[in-house]
């Protein structure tokens, strides 16, 4: 493990000749992250170099308490990353990510609905911070491919737009959501759920599946949202959207996505599932 400066100094001769397959994370790694690393390892083969970064980015948290509660498990992160095939695990410092100092708020990024609706509306400044740090990470690692989970679908869409505009040679690779046996999407925040709250949390995936079975009917999404709220969930949104633009009106024949965000058991949970075109 190392800072970016130490990694570049020690490994530059290797990475100069090897294609970098990059997995950026905020740590507290679980099997969902493991799937990203394994996908990178498979794509990199014997000649590529799989690099995992761990950096809890302060500019993408609009709630200071959320930042302070975010789990830090550095030794376990290194072990999991290595077991899944990482060649290097780097821990960038804030000085490396923000040479001019960590700003109170990152420079705004306007990607239309991607940075205006859903997560963006409920977490002001969040995607500005995501774009700022991912841009810095891409510039530092110069990867040929970067791997992101579909669980954070809106983040994936934002990163795709960033890459298209600023890193056109970079392949942004989506990796399917990894779920617990009960259907709950794996998340670093799940550790804050009690066993009782876990029971209620799995209702999100059931609600998403019901909307899929209805072929994405807005009426079914409204019905399922009401049932969740009656059970005690506090929803930020539950919506059927265009999978690419995230606009709430999906045109016939285009793939869609069902998005949900809920506060439950003191934890904010997000999830999504695909709708075929």
Query: Domain of 221: which CATH number?
Result: 3.30.1300.10
Is 50 inside a domain boundary? yes
Same domain, 124 and 210: no
165 part of a folded domain:
yes
Tally of structural domains, the chain: 2
Q: What digits encode the pLDDT tens for the residues 16-56? A: 558 999 999 999 999 999 999 999 999 999 999 999 999 99
Q: Model confidence at 243, in pLDDT bands (50, 70, 90)?
A: very high
Choose, from 21, 30, 33, 49, the residue flagged as catalytic.
Answer: 33
Q: Is residue 246 part of a domain?
A: yes
10 Å CB burial of residue 221 (0-12, 13-18, 19+) is: buried
Is there a domain that residue 180 lies in? Answer: no
pLDDT digits (tens, 9 = 90+) for 173-182: 999 999 999 9
**33 catalytic per annotation:** yes
User: Are 172 and 163 in contact, with CB atoms under 8 Å apart?
Assistant: yes
- 203 inside domain: yes
Instruction: Specify the pLDDT at position 140.
Output: 93
167 and 196 fall within a common domain:
no
Provide the domain limits for residue 164. Answer: 4-175
CATH code of the domain covering residue 79: 3.40.50.620
């Amino acid at each position: 493990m190392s800072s970016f400066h130490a990694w570049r100094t020690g490994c530059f001769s290797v990475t100069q000749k090897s294609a970098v397959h990059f997995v950026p994370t905020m740590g507290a790694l679980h099997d969902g992250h493991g799937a990203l690393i394994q996908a990178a390892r498979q794509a990199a083969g014997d000649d590529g170099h799989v690099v995992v970064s761990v950096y809890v980015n302060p500019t993408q948290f609009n709630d200071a308490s959320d930042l302070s509660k975010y789990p830090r498990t550095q030794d376990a992160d290194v072990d999991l990353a290595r077991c899944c095939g990482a060649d290097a695990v780097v821990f960038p410092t804030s000085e490396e990510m923000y040479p001019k100092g960590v700003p109170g708020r990152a420079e705004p990024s306007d990607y239309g609905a991607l940075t205006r609706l859903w997560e963006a509306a409920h977490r002001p400044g969040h995607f500005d911070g995501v774009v700022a740090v991912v841009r810095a990470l891409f510039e530092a690692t110069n990867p040929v491919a970067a791997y992101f989970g579909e669980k954070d679908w809106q983040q994936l869409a934002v990163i795709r737009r960033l890459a298209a505009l600023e890193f056109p040679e970079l392949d942004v690779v989506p990796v399917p959501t990894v779920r617990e046996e009960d259907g709950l999407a794996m998340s670093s925040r799940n550790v804050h759920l009690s066993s009782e709250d876990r029971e209620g949390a799995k209702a999100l995936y059931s609600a998403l599946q019901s909307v899929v079975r209805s072929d994405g009917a807005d009426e079914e999404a409204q019905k399922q949202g009401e049932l969740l709220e009656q059970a005690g969930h506090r929803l930020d949104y539950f919506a059927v959207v265009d999978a690419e633009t995230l606009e709430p009106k999906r045109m016939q024949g285009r793939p869609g996505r069902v998005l949900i965000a809920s506060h439950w058991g003191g934890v904010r949970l997000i999830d999504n599932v695909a709708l075929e075109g």
